[in-house]
Structure 1
Amino acid sequence: MSRRYRRRKPMAQINVVPYIDVMLVLLVIFLVTAPLLKQGVKVDLPRVPSKPVSSQASQVPLTVTVNASGAFFVSQGANPAQPLDAAALRHIATEVLRKHPKIQVYVRGDSHVSYGRVVEAMGILQQAGADKVGLVTEPPAAKTRP
């Protein structure tokens, strides 16, 4: 007994079911990871008119945050994990600046923290090897006319 094999005609339609499956998986991944990308430490930045920072650098800047209670937090593209003391801040900043000497360094100081605490953070960063340290502010609130 011989079997006859019929030749199938080529399909002229695109099967989009696998693409839909991939898109749904990506949607779920992005929905789960999106809340993790939010910056962690809440700081009430001073409102000062200033020029925006140019983002020409290819690296994520090193940001030191001083919250209202005076605790230091370090972030470099990720969420700051836990409060640090001055020695831990100096150690982390030294390591980052040793690996990336041209990295931009910023200090975010809460408007209710003592000025000395923000200056202390700037001094630690300069001792760690930062040539320039920038201060982060927010633009003033827009004035509404009556």
Structure 2
Amino acid sequence: MISRRSTMRPMSDINVVPYIDVMLVLLVIFMITAPLMNSGQIDLPSVGKSLAPPVAPLEVIINKDSTLALNDRSEEGPERNVTREELIELLKQKQAQNADQPVVISADKNVRYEEVISIMDVLQQQKIKKVGLLAQTKGR
């Protein structure tokens, strides 16, 4: 009896044949049922008006000496020096063409805060809806 016990060692092999059989059966089932499934139909929402690309903003530039300039980014060309009255007239014309025309204010860092606020006040009086301030990121 002692000799018989020593010949019986624990088995350290894993029989993977049944697992392979199960996987092949599952593969056959999926291969048969996949073509029978309906592809889903997606109903996309519709919009009332077409999506237009964003309009390039008008840039109001306030220089160090508090002079004003206007740069229309949608048109190729240099900035145009303007007075406050000319700025108001040009903004009225642009807003008549496109009421959603955004305007950004670009001021030199040495310009007094009052000058920027007064230009923002002019823009608000002209009923310009989209106003932003242009800033430069710090260099590394």
Q: Report the TM range for the smaller structure's normalisation.
A: 0.5 to 0.7
Q: 2:70 aligns with which of 54, 69, 74?
A: 74
Q: 1:58 aligns with which of 54, 70, 77?
A: 54
- Scaled by the length of structure 1, the TM-score of the pair is 0.54
Instruction: Give the letter aligned to residue 59 of structure 1.
Output: V
Determine the C-alpha separation between the residues in 2 that align with 1:126 and 1:61: 16
The answer for the alignment partner of 1:120 in structure 2 is 118
Secondary structure, in 3 states, of the residue corresponding to 1:137?
A: coil
The answer for the alignment partner of 1:53 in structure 2 is none
Instruction: Give the letter aligned to residue 84 of structure 2.
Output: A
Secondary structure, in 3 states, of the residue corresponding to 1:93?
A: helix
1:57 positional shift: 4.5
Instruction: Tell me how large the CA RMSD over aligned residues is.
Output: 1.6
- Scaled by the length of structure 2, the TM-score of the pair is 0.57
Unaligned stretches of 5+ residues in structure 2:
1-51
Determine the C-alpha separation between the residues in 2 that align with 1:141 and 1:100: 35
Residues 105/85 of structure 1: CA separation in 2 closer, same or farther (3 Å cut): same
Moved over 4 A (4+): none
The answer for the alignment partner of 1:141 in structure 2 is 139
Determine the C-alpha separation between the residues in 2 that align with 1:57 and 1:133: 18
Secondary structure, in 3 states, of the residue corresponding to 1:96?
A: helix
Determine the C-alpha separation between the residues in 2 that align with 1:128 and 1:93: 8
Larger Rg: 2
Residues 62/133 of structure 1: CA separation in 2 closer, same or farther (3 Å cut): same
Whether contact under 8 Å (2:95, 2:101) holds in the other structure is yes
Aligned positions, number: 86
Instruction: Give the letter aligned to residue 80 of structure 2.
Output: A
Determine the C-alpha separation between the residues in 1 that align with 2:55 and 2:93: 15
Determine the C-alpha separation between the residues in 1 that align with 2:135 and 2:109: 9
The answer for the alignment partner of 1:90 in structure 2 is 88
1:134 positional shift: 0.3
